[in-house]
Amino acid sequence: MVRADSLSRFSKCGVIDFVSQANQNSVQSLLYLKQIHKIACFHNNGFVTLYEADTHSPVKSFKAHCGAIANSYYHAKQNKLITQYGGEIKIWDLSTDRYTEISTVNVNFTVVNSVELLKKQNSLVVSGELRSLRKPEKFETMYQLDLVKGKIIGEWKDYAVVQTMQKIRYVKNKNLIGCGFTNGFIKLFSCNQNGFHCLLTVRAHADKVTKLHVTRINNHPYCISEGDDRRIRLWNVTSKLLSLRNFSFPQKKIIGGSFYQHRVLVLFEERGTEVLFLNLINGVIVKRIDIGVRSISKGVTLGNKEKVMLVLDIPKAVYLGIRDC
């Protein structure tokens, strides 16, 4: 069981209208662009709107895709934005105010679940599924795309679909790909120009793994997995995945999380209005807040400052101040 260590409320800094620049179309997701200190809003009509992170004033809105942008990734060092709609993946240059499209890559997936950028290799790992009337013996679950040549250079087939994926910096200049599958397993992969290599398989949840998070505590990698069994597990990433903690939320359905000050996982409940701040090391809820909206649909933390939290009540957002975590 998870106990509450503190029940102090946060300060509500106001409600932000993040739809005025996109024909009043609701927000699909948010992304913090750290390098240029802006908030990117991805709308259901395929528009991307950029706002100043401090003042929340609109900067620019542009049409990126023909439909809802399901996944996005920001390459801070190169100031590039990657957006995905269906099997269409686009790369945008944000280094100038024009925000121009650099290239488009297409994958043969009906649904793309997640994308991860391998900066050293200048390639993109894409997980998803190709839906058909006949269930295949193995699913096409992952592609590796060369962003320069715009073609597939590696693929992985498995007996289940990759639901979520995260890059794990294991040691200096060495990255692993952690994948959560629809059958409850987590697998670790190495990925290079020769393709994918499965290094480890662990049964993590009784139902599908809905989300993986990766953070570093004392410069060591940890992985957090969320499952449809309403459990959250903390893993120590070594040559194996070592289970450290197992949190159960039998009365709640958690839709996602993000990190604040690395040790705290922020959890957003799907049915209800609570946000939980869970200390991973101590295993306690350090803060709990009811933000007073109909439902919480999305959320993101914007660094380690005091006022860094956005929680979406589609189509608007509530801006919270985080203090004394």
pLDDT for 11-60, tens place per residue?
A: 555 566 666 555 556 777 788 888 888 888 888 889 898 888 777 788 88
Write the CB contacts of 69 (distance below 8 Å, at least 6 apart in sequence): 28, 29, 42, 43, 46, 48, 83, 84, 85
Give the separation between CA 166 and CA 252, rounded to whole angstroms: 24
- pLDDT value for 10: 47
pLDDT tens digits, one per residue of 239-291: 788 988 888 876 665 555 666 666 666 666 655 566 777 777 777 777 777 76
Q: Provide long-range contacts, Cβ within 8 A and 24+ apart, for 102-111.
A: 103/147, 103/150, 104/150, 105/145, 105/147, 105/150, 107/143, 107/145, 107/152, 108/140, 109/140, 109/143, 110/86
Sequence ranges of the domains in the chain? 27-257
Average pLDDT over residues 215-232: 84
pLDDT digits (tens, 9 = 90+) for 84-136: 998 899 989 988 888 889 888 888 888 888 888 888 788 889 998 887 767 77
Model confidence pLDDT, tens digit, residues 127-185? 988 877 677 778 888 999 887 777 888 899 999 999 999 998 876 667 889 999 999 99
pLDDT of residue 108: 84
Quick check: 260 and 322 in contact, CB under 8 A? yes
Query: What is this structure's pTM?
Result: 0.80
- What band does 6 get if pLDDT is binned at 50, 70 and 90? very low
Question: What is the pLDDT confidence band of residue 187, given thresholds at 50, 70 and 90?
Answer: very high
| Beta-carbon count within 10 A of 179 CB | 30
β-bridge mates for residue 14, sequence order: 319
pLDDT band at 66 (very low <50, low <70, confident <90, very high): very high
Q: Which residue has the tokens 């269906």?
A: 86
Of residues 82 and 274, the one with the higher pLDDT is: 82
pLDDT value, residue 107? 87
The CATH class of 27-257 is: mainly beta
User: Rounded mean pLDDT of 191-216?
Assistant: 89
